[in-house]
């Protein structure tokens, strides 16, 4: 029989190989109407919505289906978030631990476990990005404008690689609905919040189901349990 490492390498080869040869996902660009400086209340509320979106300290389990090159892989994940340590995620598949990493509060990524299932750069570039963008939203969003349907758009200034994060909220700023990452005006990552739910011990509903489309993969992710740890 194949031993565990051989099986792991098979998955690694498939995922990594698929990443290199798969047809890349395409995005329909969504125009942003210029900011007219009005509706300051909605902008303020959107900033507050994002700032108060998640508890400061919590633990969650997640179920994910990752689609790469048309093939699907189901995984479980453990996520632990705290102000001191940032986000700590372990991704576990039927074939073993895929990756274990920490995205620190300053945004830096620390790989805690590198496995044969996943190349280190995949963990660093893609998994860490999902943790950062979905569960560690930044402060300091700036006004960007509006969608034609009235939804509010705020953005985070370009990072070192020139990527701009564009956050879309409901017109009144009370719901975070979508996130796009763009480079030179082209979208390469889009997360749609499919559901928000109220969990025990939380005062408000939080996003707990995401549909992510990125360069060469799709991620359907949902939170399956959530607990708060210690004082918020």
Binding site for another protein (CB under 8 A): 1-5, 7, 10-11, 14, 59, 61, 63, 65, 67-68, 70-74, 76, 78, 80, 88, 90, 92-97, 100, 112-113, 220, 222, 224-225, 227, 229
- Nearer CB in complex with another protein: 43/77: 77
83: tokens are 């102000």
Residues 6 or more apart whose Cβ sits within 8 Å of residue 97: 90, 91, 113, 115, 117
* Closest CB 63 distance from another protein, rounded Å: 4
Chain centroid, CA 27 distance in Å? 17
* Closest CB 68 distance from another protein, rounded Å: 7
- Nearer CB in complex with another protein: 44/71: 71
- Nearer CB in complex with another protein: 48/72: 72
* Closest CB 221 distance from another protein, rounded Å: 11
29: tokens are 């660009």
Residues 6 or more apart whose Cβ sits within 8 Å of residue 117: 8, 11, 12, 15, 93, 95, 96, 97, 98, 99
For residue 60, what is the enclosing H or E element?
strand 58-68
- Nearer CB in complex with another protein: 50/103: 103
């Amino acid at each position: 029989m194949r031993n565990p490492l051989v099986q792991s390498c098979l998955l690694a080869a498939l995922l990594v190989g698929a990443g290199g040869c798969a047809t890349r996902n395409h995005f329909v660009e969504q125009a942003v109407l210029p900011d007219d400086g009005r509706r300051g209340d909605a902008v303020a509320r959107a900033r507050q919505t994002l700032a108060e979106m998640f508890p400061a300290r919590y633990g969650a389990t997640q179920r994910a289906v990752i689609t790469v090159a048309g093939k699907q892989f189901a995984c479980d994940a453990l996520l632990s978030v705290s102000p001191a340590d940032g986000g700590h995620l372990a991704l576990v598949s039927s074939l073993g631990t895929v990756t274990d990493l920490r995205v620190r509060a300053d945004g830096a990524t620390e790989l805690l476990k590198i496995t044969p299932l996943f190349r280190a750069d995949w963990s660093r570039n893609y998994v860490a990005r999902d943790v950062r963008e979905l569960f560690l939203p930044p402060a300091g969003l700036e006004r960007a404008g509006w969608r034609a349907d009235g939804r509010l758009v705020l953005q985070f200034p370009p990072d070192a690689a020139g990527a701009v994060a564009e956050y879309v909220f409901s017109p009144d700023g009370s719901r975070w609905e979508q996130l796009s990452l763009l480079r030179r005006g082209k979208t390469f990552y889009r997360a749609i919040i499919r559901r928000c739910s109220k969990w025990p011990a939380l005062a408000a509903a939080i996003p707990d189901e995401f549909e992510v489309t990125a360069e060469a993969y799709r991620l359907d992710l949902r939170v399956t349990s959530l607990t708060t740890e210690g004082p918020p």
